Amino acid sequence: MSELSIRVTHRTEIDGRAVEKTIDIETIPSLPAVSQVAAPARVAAASPEPSGQRFEKVHTKGEARHVAVLDHQTGLMWSVESLGDPDDADDGITQEHCIERCRELRLLGFEDWRLPTRAELAGLVDDTRHEPAIDTDLFPGVKPRWHWTSTAAAWSSASAWGVGFYDGGVSSARRSGDGFALAVRRAGQ
């Protein structure tokens, strides 16, 4: 089995001194192809990676289409497709079932996928787009529909937060309502 180790080294000069910082991000099993894409126009990275790219597409061996995106700004890895009813991909499911779908996801050899928090998922909204309000080059399989988060509503244990990728709105709804999941994991774990 081949592995892809991601190591970022940034060299700069500060006050006449050479400064070098190296970060080992992750060792990913069986990933031969990785390509870089520019960050969405609405995202102004406070501390961009040395390459200036926020997102990196992650491909599986022998596949032209990417299956995940690595976000260098947050250290998160995202699946690129909405998860809904396993029997009908166009049907949404409850928040509880979205949590289960994420936990059951086996992608790129990782088993630690989860439902994102409100802040994490809202961070993917691209205000310059709608239907869906997300960069479709990076996230080609995201439906322009409601996506659940793991963040509970403070005023009701029966409700949780979500992001509507139709227009990028962030609001709460009853957990028993139908929606989709966009699975995420912490890169480097």
Q: Which ranges in the chain belong to alpha helices (H)?
A: 95-104, 118-122
The pLDDT assigned to 34 comes to: 40
The sign of the dihedral angle between the CA atoms of 84, 88, 92, 96 is negative
Q: Which of 51, 53, 50, 54 is nearest to 12 (CA)?
A: 50
Of 11-15, 39-43, 65-69, 73-77, which gets the smallest average pLDDT?
A: 39-43
Could you report the per-residue pLDDT of 98-157, keeping only the tens digit for each? Answer: 999 999 999 999 999 999 999 999 999 999 999 999 999 999 999 999 999 999 999 999
Spatial distance between the Cα atoms of 71 and 106, rounded to a whole number of angstroms: 19
Instruction: For residues 152-180, give the mean pLDDT.
Output: 97
Instruction: For residues 75-101, give the mean pLDDT.
Output: 97
- The token pair at 62 is 């022998």
Residue spans of the domains in the chain: they are: 3-186
pTM (two decimals): 0.73
